[in-house]
Amino acid sequence: EVQLVQSGAEVKKPGESLKISCKGSGYSFSTHWIGWVRQMPGKGLEWMGIIYPDDSETKYNTSFQGQATISADKSTTTAYLQWNNLKASDTATYYCARRRDHNFDYWGQGTLVTVSS
C-alpha cells in the first residue's frame, strides 16, 4: 500500500528554522517525483515545487523560489521541506504528494505549521 506519512504539527517563532518531513512507503520512492503543496488557512492549494529523489533534481514554482528548500534522502525514503527564516506568512498546512505522470495520486496527511510570536 502506497503511503506518505508526514511529520507532526509545529509551532515556531518568526526567524526560526524548521524542517518537516514526508516518508514514503509501499512503492519505489526513488523513481517517483514528490511535490509539496501549501494551503494557507481557509485558502486554496498552491504548488510549491517538486523533487526527483533518485538524483534530487528539483523544480520550484517561481513564487516560492528562495522561500523554502525541498530535499530528499532516498536511503530513508523521505522528502523534506525546510525554512531558514520563518515568517508569520508561512503559517499554513503543507502537503507532500506523489507525482504519477502529470498529476498527484497519493497525498500525505498534511503538516500544520504555525508561525507566531
Partner 1 sequence: QSALTQPPSASGSLGHSVTISCTGTSSDIGGSHYVSWYQQHPGKAPKLMIFEVSKRPSGVPDRFSGSKSGNTASLTVSGLQADDEADYFCSSYVARNNFVFGTGTKVTVL
Helix or strand (DSSP H, E) at 76: none
CB hemisphere CA count around 70 (13 angstroms): 27
Amino acid at 109: Q
- Concatenate the DSSP letters of all residues of 32-56 into one string: S-EEEEEE-TT--EEEEEEEETTTT
Smallest separation, CB 99 to partner 1 (Å): 9
Q: Rounded to an integer, what distance in angstroms lies between the CA atom of residue 105 and that of residue 83? A: 26
List binders of partner 1 among 27-66 (CB under 8 A).
Answer: 33, 35, 37, 43-47, 50, 59, 61-63
Smallest separation, CB 71 to partner 1 (Å): 16
Smallest separation, CB 33 to partner 1 (Å): 8
List binders of partner 1 among 72-101 (CB under 8 A).
Answer: 95, 97, 101
Smallest separation, CB 41 to partner 1 (Å): 12
Q: Rounded to an integer, what distance in angstroms lies between the CA atom of residue 53 and that of residue 62? A: 20
| Residue 24 found at the interface with partner 1 (CB under 8 A) | no
Residue with the three cell numbers 492549494: 45
Q: Name which of 29 and 108 has its Cβ closer to partner 1.
A: 108
Give residues in contact with partner 1 (CB under 8 A).
Answer: 33, 35, 37, 43-47, 50, 59, 61-63, 95, 97, 101-105, 107-110
